[in-house]
Structure 1
Amino acid sequence: MKMTILRLTTALPFLLASGIAQAADCDITVGLVMELTGPAGEYGQAGAKSVEMAFRDINDAGGINGCHLVTDTRDSQSQGNIAVDAATQLVQVKKVPVIIGGIISSVSLPILTSVTSSAKVVQVSPASSSPTLTQLGREGKTNGIFFRTITSDALQGVAAAKYAIDKGFKKLAVIHINNDFGVNMAGEFTRAYEALGGKIVSKTPYNEKQSSYASEVTAGMADAPDGLYLVSTPVDGATIARTWISQGGVQKFLLNDGMNSPDFIDSVGAEYLNEAYGTSSGTSPTPSTEYFTKNYKEFSGIDPANPAADRSYDAGAIVGLALAISGDDRTKVRDAIYKVVDPNGTPIHAGKEEFAKALQLIKDGKPIRYEGVIGPVSFDEYGDITGPFRLWKIVDGMVTTDGEMSTSEVQELQARMR
């Protein structure tokens, strides 16, 4: 008996050490449904790398109760039906606690309505800006589980309209992608632009991956506009812009946020884009912004200016810290997300050292406020954020900041239009 007790006593430290090692080797898998290929592939690749970087930083800071955050990434191919199949497997088979994605609204919407809402699994989109996502929340169709780290197109449309007027666009043709994002963006822009005194001479939808866009361009040019508002993605957008130029269209463009793309510029030719302007969901710089800008390209090989990159890092950071708060109970993730950005919490920024501080505060039961790459954000009851808008111009083939429109300025304009 004494020998048995002695053996157990002697073995106990090794058993405990073994248990700790196993705990340290455990993984918490988060599902990513990203547009890695297809028209939005450039965005999805940047988004996936950003989430991976955020998870790396949290893991380096100690992880979630000794476990590592890992991603199970699926390619939506920029198609809603493929995205639904991928999300269904992640939720029903892999039992992931959160889905991050999609990037574009035409992917995020079917995931939400067909998979995550009914399963009550939190979904965070880094870049889906359709107002329909807010409307579904108002109608009680999201179960309150949808969040996004980008402002709604209802706001971006107003910012773009004011920018267009300021830049002398008095008479515009609109060509837009024929999906929820494009229809809503064109609609919100038109409402604001006309209220500010502008005239829309034509509004032409197009379907993705057409072999030619000549008929859409011809329709857009019919009434001699003094510019084109192009709501598109880099691949199709470049084809449309080249067709517009080759058919003699005036070389003045207004572009949506997703057209802030080196691939678009290279494909069209910088020499044709000297009067090309655009709007993007902006940032309020924090130490997180500096950290991300300095380190992202080395980690990913992708320019940190990619429009999906910064807000995807924040989506990953918010999800990771929320999982640290909620533990392994996925029913508590929704409430934990609000706690990550508690206005009364200790400010936390991006990177290993800051996340280590956050994880310790969480263990101590103290509130935190993550102030991310895009700035301090708060989520309303529908998972929406508010924020400034960046006004940009293409100069010598490079996207350069031309100004900013604050949240209050956009809201004031909205109020004037009601």
Structure 2
Amino acid sequence: MSFIKSLGKPSGAVALLMLLTACGAETPQATGESPAETAPAATDGGALKLGTLLPLTGDLAQYGAPMQDSVSFLVETVNACGGALGQPVALISEDDQTDPAAGASGMTKLAEVDQVAGVIGAAASSVSSAAVDIAVRNEVIQISPSSTSPTFTERANNGDFNGFWFRTAPPDTYQGEALARLAQEQGFTEVAILSINNDYGNGLIQAFVPAFKALGGTVVNESDPTRYAPDATTFDSEVSAAFEGEPDAVLLIAYPETGSLIVKAAYEQGLLGGNTKFLMTDGMKTGNLAELIGQGSDGQFIAAGVLGTAPSAGGPAIAQFKEIYTGKYNRDPQVYDPNSWDAAAILVLAAEAAKANTGAAVKEQIATVANPPGEQVTDVCQALELVRQGQDIDFQGASGTLDFNDAGDVAGAYDVWTVADDGSIQIQSTITIGGAQ
């Protein structure tokens, strides 16, 4: 079955692209008009308005632009097969600049001015932390494709979010365990930590340390992990501190822009190629990582051979998603692109199930369309048609099965990735953490 086939209509990526081109119902983007100007406010009976709060600039821009493309493509796909609530879905986008202040400002605009029902984003946990209370206060759903800090689970369990927070990537409590198991498999007994000083970095530190110790490992700087400011531009002292004593590995919790500078600094200090290896997280898994870090004096990529973990986009619909994404953009999807597609799909399906376009109504239907029981379906247009017919569905995504627990979390698996000699990212294996929620 085609991933984006509508019931009773031609299937396949080619048919979709033809439909998107020829579809008579133009989206606001297709007409060149602003969605905010063409769609009514988020009140029962109007069009569904969604927002994105993603890093089109800043430290996470490597991820933000493709994530934005994934959401835009989902909205195009949905609008080509009838939209939601009988009208085209409108999408309004804000650049969070990988900056908490900009993220708070963007969420304020989306929630209070544009009056969207739901927002896909942010990417960085620190930005989501700055935005989520604004979303909750305005009864707007925030569903992040990649904010993985355990803090959100804790706050959700404390009742801080009133059910308006979800994410399609598993929390870093799971990634901490995956990293610990990878370190053990590599024979690392002593690991130092070098981390960005924000919610993402601090959450992963809190998850990794006890998991690694439980496996018999030692975090040599456990009492004082080496941290750097998100806006730092030089890292010589931090690199020297992390590599002091030649631990088996340095766990680098970073984003591509600053993380690549850290690896370069380690190379320039002559710290690579010896006994200490770099172990990395999902924040560094970008397709051009080798190019960002550059080549050594021998002409080889400095990053070749590094290992890391990242949530595995291994959902039931991943093959179909990769096919249509590649056909649309002529490139492979990046690590959180499937999660972004899924986040937008869940909001659209929940709105259709709710027969309303308000965040308060939509949030009540997210588990209904995403969790068992119901007919399992991977095709968003087929899923919409089934919901319109009043049938229960269990939407299966590209990033996972999308079974949300009461904290808005999903369980998941983690890819072990490495940089090959030619600079490409390759997946070596998968580590499964936890069970279905």
Per mean C-alpha deviation after superposition, the further-off stretch among 86-95 and 339-348 is 339-348
RMSD: 2.3
Task: Determine the structure 2 residue equivalent to 1:51.
Answer: 71
Task: Determine the structure 1 residue equivalent to 2:13.
Answer: none
How many angstroms apart in 2 are the aligned matches of 1:50 and 1:374? 12
Task: Determine the structure 2 residue equivalent to 1:155.
Answer: 174
1:402 aligns with 2:428: yes
How many angstroms apart in 1 are the aligned matches of 2:220 and 2:108? 43
How many angstroms apart in 1 are the aligned matches of 2:305 and 2:380? 42
Task: Identify the match of residue 90 of structure 1 among 83, 97, 110.
Answer: 110
Task: Determine the structure 2 residue equivalent to 1:187.
Answer: 206
Task: Determine the structure 2 residue equivalent to 1:372.
Answer: 397
C-alpha deviations, 1:113-165, integer Å up to 9, x for none? 2x011222111000000000011111111111100000000110011011011
* 8 Å Cα contact 2:150-2:173 kept in structure 1: yes
1:318 aligns with 2:346: yes
* Equivalent position SS for 2:48: strand
1:357 aligns with 2:382: yes
Per mean C-alpha deviation after superposition, the further-off stretch among 132-141 and 23-32 is 23-32
Amino acid at match of 1:277: L
Shift in Å, 1:201: 2.2
1:210 aligns with 2:232: yes
* 8 Å Cα contact 1:157-1:188 kept in structure 2: yes
How many angstroms apart in 1 are the aligned matches of 2:436 and 2:49? 38
How many angstroms apart in 2 are the aligned matches of 1:209 and 1:243? 16
* 8 Å Cα contact 1:326-1:336 kept in structure 2: yes
Pairing 1:115-134 to 2, within 5 Å after superposition: 115-134=134-153
Task: Identify the match of residue 224 of structure 1 among 228, 233, 246.
Answer: 246
How many angstroms apart in 1 are the aligned matches of 2:201 and 2:226? 11
* 8 Å Cα contact 1:387-1:406 kept in structure 2: yes
* 8 Å Cα contact 1:258-1:307 kept in structure 2: no
Task: Determine the structure 1 residue equivalent to 2:3.
Answer: none
* Equivalent position SS for 1:127: coil
Task: Determine the structure 2 residue equivalent to 1:5.
Answer: none
Task: Determine the structure 2 residue equivalent to 1:392.
Answer: 417
1:342 aligns with 2:342: no
* 8 Å Cα contact 1:234-1:263 kept in structure 2: no
Q: 1:177 to 1:21 in 2, by over 3 A?
A: closer
How many angstroms apart in 2 are the aligned matches of 1:139 and 1:410? 22
Consecutive unaligned residues in structure 1, runs of 5 or more? 1-19, 412-418
Shift in Å, 1:391: 1.5
* 8 Å Cα contact 2:48-2:357 kept in structure 1: no
Pairing 1:258-337 to 2, within 5 Å after superposition: 258-269=283-294, 271-286=301-316, 288-304=317-333, 306-330=334-358, 331-337=360-366
Shift in Å, 1:302: 4.6
Shift in Å, 1:273: 2.6
Q: 1:63 to 1:181 in 2, by over 3 A?
A: same
Q: 1:327 to 1:189 in 2, by over 3 A?
A: same
C-alpha deviations, 1:330-359, integer Å up to 9, x for none? 12111111111131211221xxxx333222
Could you say which structure has the larger radius of gyration?
1
* Equivalent position SS for 1:254: strand
Shift in Å, 1:23: 12
* 8 Å Cα contact 1:226-1:250 kept in structure 2: no
Pairing 1:34-73 to 2, within 5 Å after superposition: 34-73=54-93
Per mean C-alpha deviation after superposition, the further-off stretch among 256-265 and 139-148 is 256-265
How many angstroms apart in 1 are the aligned matches of 2:374 and 2:435? 28
Per mean C-alpha deviation after superposition, the further-off stretch among 365-374 and 60-69 is 60-69
What is the aligned residue count? 385
Pairing 1:4-23 to 2, within 5 Å after superposition: none
Identity level (%): 30
* 8 Å Cα contact 2:178-2:433 kept in structure 1: no
* 8 Å Cα contact 2:53-2:93 kept in structure 1: yes
Q: TM-score, normalised by structure 1?
A: 0.87
How many angstroms apart in 2 are the aligned matches of 1:162 and 1:23? 47
Task: Determine the structure 2 residue equivalent to 1:105.
Answer: 125
Shift in Å, 1:219: 0.9
Shift in Å, 1:303: 2.8
How many angstroms apart in 2 are the aligned matches of 1:410 and 1:296? 27
* Equivalent position SS for 1:403: strand
Amino acid at match of 1:280: A
* Equivalent position SS for 1:240: helix
C-alpha deviations, 1:182-228, integer Å up to 9, x for none? 01102211111122122222320001232310110111122112222
Task: Determine the structure 1 residue equivalent to 2:5.
Answer: none
* 8 Å Cα contact 2:145-2:340 kept in structure 1: yes
* Equivalent position SS for 1:372: coil
Consecutive unaligned residues in structure 2, runs of 5 or more? 1-23, 29-37, 40-46, 295-299
When you count helix as a share of all residues, which structure comes out higher? 1
